[in-house]
Chain A
Amino acid sequence: MVETQEQRLQVEVTERGIDVPALCAWAADPEAGAVLSFVGTVRASKEGRRVLRIDYEAYVSMAARQLGCIGAEMLSQWPTRRVALLHRVGRLAVGEASIAIVVSSPHRDAGFAALRHGIESVKRRVPIWKKEYFEDGAVWVQERP
């Protein structure tokens, strides 16, 4: 059965917690020998300062569109089977997942490469911002390109 791209790609900007095992189950495919996932989580400290929480803000419609473009690239530039990119927004506590990218592929090389492209592209191209809260104040993170 030939799947449409719509059936092979799942993207979302969501305020709900991300269910990583469910995404891995969704990405599984009889033709895929590898299912790879990247999960970004909120760290407890930054440069020695204790992080209390992080607020993620998004230009939601454009962010969802960019996630879709990145997912389409992951499907077309490597022999992959299914791709999911989910980014969470709102208030996150230490340890919670901000992003999950899952990709399945017949062999692992393509999966690793597509996954790497996915997370690096999200960090450069998707209009989402995080504000880190410390005990003595909060700051919008300015990532180096």
Chain B
Amino acid sequence: MRIEVLCFATARDAVGASRLELEIEEGSTVASTLAVLAARHPGLGPGLASLRCAVNEEFVAAETRLRPGDILALIPPVSGG
């Protein structure tokens, strides 16, 4: 199934793109998808533990299952305000 991945700040630097389309297996979780991304983009590795994820603009737990068309956002430690 296809999902969209949005990368911000240090995650964008690591991936080299702010947006990409990803083909993943049906039933994939956020965690398994992060593993796929980290394997393709090793620069994500060091910051992986502190990365939060949002799906369709809501923060989600790593075990959340993704659905076709979901928008997964990689959210490094925020520094607004």
Are A and B a genuine interacting pair, yes or no? yes
B80 near A59 with CB under 8 A, answer no
Interface residues of A in 107-129 (CB under 8 A from B): 119, 122-129
With A57-B8, A61-B57, A62-B57 as known contacts, state yes or no: A140 contacts B80, CB within 8 Å. Answer: no
Bound together, the chains give a CA A131 to CA B59 distance in angstroms of 23
A127 near B8 with CB under 8 A, answer yes
With A59-B73, A131-B9 as known contacts, state yes or no: A123 contacts B57, CB within 8 Å. Answer: no
* Residue from B10, B13, B50, B78 in contact with A127 in the complex, judged by beta carbons closer than 8 Å: B78
| Interface residue? B54 (CB, 8 A) | yes
Q: How large is the interface on B (under 10, 10 to 19, 20 to 34, 35 or more residues)?
A: 10 to 19
> Of B6, B54, B75, B78, which is in contact with the most chain A CB atoms at under 10 Å from its CB?
B78
B10 near A140 with CB under 8 A, answer yes
Q: What A residues does B42 contact at CB under 8 A?
A: none
Bound together, the chains give a CA A43 to CA B23 distance in angstroms of 43
| Interface residue? B77 (CB, 8 A) | yes
> Of A62, A98, A119, which is in contact with the most chain B CB atoms at under 10 Å from its CB?
A62
| Interface residue? A99 (CB, 8 A) | yes
| Interface residue? A7 (CB, 8 A) | no
Determine the residue in chain B with the shortest Cβ distance to A143. Answer: B79
B8 near A129 with CB under 8 A, answer yes
B80 near A130 with CB under 8 A, answer yes
B9 near A123 with CB under 8 A, answer no
Q: What B residues does A63 contact at CB under 8 A?
A: 80
* Residue from A40, A126, A129 in contact with B76 in the complex, judged by beta carbons closer than 8 Å: A129
| Interface residue? A56 (CB, 8 A) | yes
Which 6 A-B pairs give the minimum distances between C-beta atoms?
Answer: A128-B80, A129-B9, A123-B81, A141-B79, A62-B57, A122-B81
